Amino acid sequence: MVWRLQADRNQLPRLLLRLLFLLPTGLPVRSVDFNRSTDNITVRQGDTAVIRCFIEDKSSKVAWLNRSAIIFAGQDKWSLDPRVELDKRSVLEYSLRIQKVDVYDEGPYICSVQTQHHTKTAQVYLIVQVPPKISNISADITVNEGSNVTLVCIANGRPDPIITWRHLNPTARDFEGEEEYLDIQGITREQSGKYECKAANEVASADVKQVRITVNYPPIITESKSIEAITGKQAYLRCEASAEPKPDFEWYKDDTRINSAQGLEIKSMGNRSTLMVANVTEEHYGNYTCVAANKLGVTNTSLYLYRPGTVIADNGSTSLAASIWLMAITLFCLICKC
């Protein structure tokens, strides 16, 4: 702590001192400047602060003052605060102990020592630090693609925490700026997922909380494959769609809706649907349609159950059956540039 000249600021403690020691107001207060360490004491909220002060002889008049009040005058406690007491490990020590320090304790503390000839004051500035804490974060939300979304994250702490946002998945992206508010305009399906708000100051480890954004969008069929099937055997037609919320599936053979009956079984789970033909017969060959729908839209694709020997265009979607012969001619033509 620094023993420093009691300047004109802190007029009130000085006035209080004059009253306490009955100093003649005109007389300048002489001070000694001991430069020992910093004149700031930093304490975490809830901890105990000990502000040290030592006197030179037992006959000195001593007092502890706050910004606005006398805390101790000699051994008499003026403060009504039960957290405040003197810390005297030796006859010459006159330190002040404050338990369970809180933010309102922050401020200047003055130890005043009056000997016969002069008055010394030591001023210490108590800084109270508070770890970062997120007090409020947006609730999880579901929006339609293209919406404008604002996320909010409110944090407390001393010094004021720095707030940063991060998109955790599927992309791990940090957002620019240190903002309580995160604005996403025209949100896309790739921007769905978890967002992390981090509040950090130098006092303690950062506080972190998450919020999830679900972005709804209409289905798109991502996978469907035509297959060859042998009569008398089982066959599976598969269809996968990307959608939020998860799609409902329907299957059609030509223009007729298929129900799970007569050797056909539809199994849909999440974003996949399978049509099982238990025992393939001639009537099963042909054109099937997989329809995927959610509240935002509907889409479909056609796929085929082929007789063995029919070549399948392997790009899935609306593939046309082409014979090996036709394929060979196409290849031949390509090579010969005919």
Q: Which residues bind ligand NAG (CB under 6 A)?
A: 33, 35, 38-40, 66-69, 71, 79, 81, 84, 98, 104-105, 125, 127, 136, 147-148, 152, 185, 222, 232, 240, 242, 252, 255, 270-271, 279, 287, 289, 291, 300, 302, 313, 315, 319-320
> CB-wise, 24 or 76, nearer to ligand NAG?
76
CB of residue 25 vs ligand NAG: minimum separation in angstroms?
A: 23
Identity of the residue, 27 or 153, whose beta carbon is nearer to ligand NAG in the bound complex = 153
Residue closer to ligand NAG (CB basis): 45 or 302: 302
To the nearest whole angstrom, how small is the minimum distance from the Cβ of residue 115 to ligand NAG?
21
Length of the chain: 338
3-class secondary structure per residue, the chain: CEECCCCCCCHHHHHHHHHHHCCCCCCCCCCCCCECCCCEEEEECCCCEEECCECCCCCCEEEEECCCCEEEECCEECCCCCCEEEECCCCCECEEEECCCCHHHCEEEEEEEECCCCEEEEEEEEEEEEEEEEEEECCCEEEECCCCEEEEEEEEEECCCEEEEEECCCCCEECCCCCCEEEECCCCHHHCEEEEEEEECCCCCCEEEEEEEEEEEEEEEEEECCEECCCCCCEEEEEEEEEECCCEEEEEECCEECCCCCCEEEEEECCEEEEEECCCCHHHCEEEEEEEEECCEEEEEEEEEECCCCECCCCCCCCCCECHHHHHHHHHHHHHCC
Say how far apart CA 30 and CA 114 lie, in whole Å. 10
Nearer to ligand NAG, 136 or 259 (CB): 136
Least Å distance, CB 56 to ligand NAG, is 19
Q: Which is nearer to ligand NAG, 8 or 255 (CB)?
A: 255
Nearest approach in angstroms of CB 55 to ligand NAG is 20
Distance, CA of 146 to CA of 139 (rounded, Å): 19
Identity of the residue, 36 or 118, whose beta carbon is nearer to ligand NAG in the bound complex: 36
Least Å from the CB of residue 286 to ligand NAG: 8
Question: What's the CA gap between 14 and 30, in Å, rounded?
Answer: 12
Nearer to ligand NAG, 30 or 57 (CB): 30
Least Å from the CB of residue 59 to ligand NAG: 26
User: Closer CB to ligand NAG, residue 92 or residue 320?
Assistant: 320
Q: Tokens 């393939």 identify what position?
A: 280
**Residue 220 CB, nearest distance to ligand NAG (Å)?**
8
Smallest separation, CB 29 to ligand NAG (Å): 18
